[in-house]
A and B are shown apart, each in its own frame.
Chain A
Amino acid sequence: MKIILYHLTLTCWLTLGFIQLAAQSSFFTNEKYPKNGLEIQFGWHWIQNQDLVYSPLIYKGSSITSLALQYERFSKKGIHQIAIGFDQSEAEAGALITFTEFGQSFSRKPGHTRGVRLHYGYAHLVKSSDLFQLYFGGILEAQINVNTYNFGWSDDNGYLLSHSLQPWLLAQYQADAKNRLSFEISFPLLSYLARPTYAIVDNHEIQHEGSDLSYVYQNGEWASLDSHQALGFSLVWDRRLSNTAAFQVGYDLSYTRYSQPLPISILKNKFNLGLSFIF
């Protein structure tokens, strides 16, 4: 299991980088001609996760580790968006114990949680006025969350790998020439998820079933709406700084719950600061 998670995490790191999705649109999407937008963000996040395969307790943690990169391509009809994101923090469920073995004192260490998310989305402009734009489209998203539980003798790694197709609603309100408020919401309709099994037995590896991303994918399954619920929500204030740049303050919420083989629930609250540019 450790080797699976090491390869998986390393692959995600190398492939996806150190960034976190905030799903925040550029300030300049209402320009007349097609434009490119680039956003760079960082933020503080607070995470709660509970994975009953490993523990009945809710693990909580927070840190300033979020880095975000998002590219957008604007047209008269809609927005293409590619985004990549990363977050991580220590997480604890309560007081950590200290015990003695072979005359030595051992203490439990905090757990650790990491998440990487990558998405591509397209939203079509469905309503437009001087003050208000409404877009509707879809997102294709890949996400992995890895939670490390440090028990006594071992550290166990739980993971939730998901690929999902989501409807995506984006609304923008132009308060004045310099200020805009954006709201986004999405949730998965079709998902493919991979999780550890009910009982973690490392000797699957003895039979050389693999210890990399392919092994994880082989053990995934399509999820029904009954077994998988998730929600992504974003609220952003853009403050225009110049013709090519804007300052952003935003809040993101993401929640996911999957009930196989036992429920895992992950809730993330993120508060972000960022800069966006058009070129």
Chain B
Amino acid sequence: MKENQLSDAIRELAFQMDEKEKRAAELVIANKELVFQNKEKENRAAELVIANNELVFKKKEKEKRAAELVIANKELVFQNKEKEKRAAELVIANKELIFQNEEKENRAAELVIANKELVFQNEEKEKRATELTIANKELESFTYVSSHDLQEPLRKIQTFATRLIADESKNLSDKGNEYVLRMQDAASRMQTLLADLLTYSRATSSEQNFEKTDLHIIIEEVKKDLAETIAEKNATIEVVEMCDVHIIRFQFRQLMHNLIGNSLKFSKPGIAPHIILKSRIINGSEVPNQKLLYEKNYCHITITDNGIGFKPQYKDHIFKLFKRLHDKEQITGTGIGLTIVKKIIENHNGVIIATSDLNKGATFDIYIPQPGTEPHRPG
């Protein structure tokens, strides 16, 4: 038995040795496996760390993005609201535009009507202007004819009156003689009136022969015409400064005659008339008168006297036909003289302004356009 048992025990031992060796080998393998697995796990862990980092980064990014999206969203909400607001406004604006459009169409229709009316009115005005031109010409020729033709019977009344006085005076009573004298007086007033009307009609005639003229010459001529009155009243006519002026000569002579004549006529009793004549070139901008053009040059003529003058409120009245400020017995006249002056100024496209006050003399400012002069601007 012992031997058996020993052999059994040896076999058992050997078996166990084998088993142990097998087991050890398996352990080695298992160990290697573990080491490998460990390494793998470490690798995996490292990868996980990286992946984790990546995820952390991505998360942060996403959070950032989310925050941005929140902001963007808010912005979009705001913009949306704005757009809605704007859309509402546009709807209103659109309605307004539609309304305005309708209004415009209405207005256009009205304008078409108004335009037609204007065309009609224009035609009417042209018609009226033509009629006026004709009427004016008729009036002019009437004035001429009447002033000329009326002189004839008047002259006879005057001539027969002189015969009455010369030959029949002794057959008339004192009263009768006085009546004849009064008749002569009236006839001579009518003669002046007709002569003035004739002058007026000549001033309205269409002759427009403008000449460059030295005002000295015109004034000298007028002084010659009025020499008798100038001497009688001991008048001084002072010509301070004179320039050339473009005028219709015979008309301007008439104008100067009437103005200087007036200064002599409306002098203060017992005071010698002193008349000052001045003229110089000025620019329209220098005078505050809307009838004068800013860019145009004018010959500015001033006639000043020391006569009885007139109240300022009559400054326009005096230019009207037949308007007089004095009794016939006081100062003779027909009320045509200054109307002629005004007419002549109009023929020259000029302006005349009267300035005066009672007993303070009178000043007449005349502005006649200077042709062909380059506008000069002050400064």
Q: Do A and B come from one complex?
A: no
